[in-house]
Amino acid sequence: MGEPEPVDLIHLADADGDRCIVRVTGRYKPGILTGHDTLRADVLVSTSFLDARLELYLLQRDLSAWEHELEGLVPGGNAGIGGGRGLELGLRLNEDQSVCVTINDPDRLSTFFWIRPHDDWIQDHRVRLDRLQQVWPSEVIETAPWSTSGVQTVGTEYFRRGHRGPSRCLRRRGRPHTHQPDRPTGLADISSSSSVGHSRKTVQSRLRVLSVAEIELAVCSP
């Protein structure tokens, strides 16, 4: 059985050719405790002045937050995904039903632009989220956070189809143990162009993507 086809969690486009796509391509590290439920995604942006491909790593809590914000999105409201660990993509629904897209990837790219998607794009994106969760469901389960003996037990059970029983069980004393994704690194290709009085310019950048662990370490260190 081959790898599942990529799923577009976000796909906004308009008649002018502007587009913003978040394309989930798979699990970060399938079968590895700290990376199995982390999903890899490409953020693809194309406008009259910018073409970019950036990397994004999605945790399950990112998907839950996206679902909640999408459900409550009304004109004047905001929804977004990512942020706090690197790339952040935000959407603001305007009164005229156009969408202001903001992208902030620290030290790499910060931009905003407007897209006028089709009228039922919110419902369409609910369906996209459902599809993503069917293709790559959450499969890492933490059980028994505290035992009566005072020893903290974090039991993590990873089930494959046809596999029975837990594959890992960690016991720790003291504060709860939080699993963080390993260090995802990659490249982001950015092309920018301008058609006002100049020939098209293309700039290719090879950029290192900071991991969740690195960013949290930088924030939490004294």
Q: Which two tokens stand for residue 129?
A: 């989220």
Q: Mind listing the pLDDT tens digit for each residue in 118-167?
A: 999 999 999 999 999 999 999 987 655 554 443 333 333 333 333 333 33
Nearest by Cα to 59 from 136, 5, 169, 128 = 136
Q: Mind listing the pLDDT tens digit for each residue in 10-56?
A: 999 999 999 999 999 999 999 888 899 999 999 999 999 999 999 99
Name the architecture of domain 7-138+185-220. Answer: Roll (2.30)
Q: How do the domains of the chain map onto residue ranges?
A: 7-138+185-220, 141-172
Given this model, what pLDDT does residue 214 score? 41
Residue 205 has pLDDT above 90, yes or no: no
Residue 216 has pLDDT above 60, yes or no: no
Rg (the chain; Cα; Å): 20
Sequence-distant (≥ 6) Cβ neighbours of residue 108 within 8 angstroms: 54, 87, 188, 190, 205, 207
Cα–Cα dist 173/125, whole Å:
43
Single pTM value for the model: 0.66
Cα–Cα dist 113/88, whole Å:
14
Cα–Cα dist 35/184, whole Å:
9
